[in-house]
Amino acid sequence: MRKYWLLFFAVVLPAIVFGQQYRSIKGYVRFYSEAPVENIEAVSIEGTSIVDFSEEAIAFSIPIRSFHFKKSLMQEHFNENYMESEKYPTATFSGKFIGLDKNKKAVQKIKAVGKMKIHGVERDISVEGEITPGDNYLKVKSKFNIALADYDIKIPSIVTYNISEVVEVTVLFDYAKL
């Protein structure tokens, strides 16, 4: 697991050495699956992220095992059967903001485009969200959908009514200036 973090920071940090960099001090990631039998929700507060405001770049990483469910059996199935978290321990995103006004010190709607990697599969994605810049902090939030099939996450037919094919992901990060 350490090698993934080292790789993450080795790739991201050199690209953002000369800008207004921000590091997450609080990361919250939630996914929600609405299905006919039951709704499933899991939350992680262990996401890490870096933003280079001058380059309009963002990257984040979430340990898959850090997601917590209300039912421990769901958590076990999530890690062992669906996400294979021993084999694929993290989900990552690396991209750029589109439509960011670097001089605006108020909430603004933005889009991020980049590469999301989940379950060993990397895809180009585009998500909308909000960014709130301050003097020494940033806040970023977004809500978007992920299709499980896009990331080769297979749902056994016996539980197709328990798990939605598309899950809603909410990302909230608070950053401090480096």
Q: Which domains does the chain have, with CATH numbers?
A: 2-10+25-177 (2.40.128.110)
In whole angstroms, what is the distance from residue 169 CA to residue 85 CA?
18
d(CA 69, CA 29): 13
pLDDT confidence tier of residue 159, bands split at 50, 70 and 90: confident
- Alpha carbon distance 171, 140 (integer Å): 8
- What is the pLDDT at residue 134? 83
Q: What is the amino acid identity at position 167?
A: V
CB within 8 Å of 38: residues ≥ 6 apart: 162
User: If you average pLDDT over every residue of the chain, what do you get?
Assistant: 88
Question: Regarding beta strands 166-177 and 68-69, do their DSSP bridges make them parallel or antiparallel, or are they unpaired?
Answer: unpaired
Checking if the pLDDT of 66 tops 70, the result is yes
What pTM does this model have?
0.85
- Residue 18: pLDDT above 60? no
Which among 120, 172, 117, 177 is positioned nearest to 142, based on CA atoms? 172
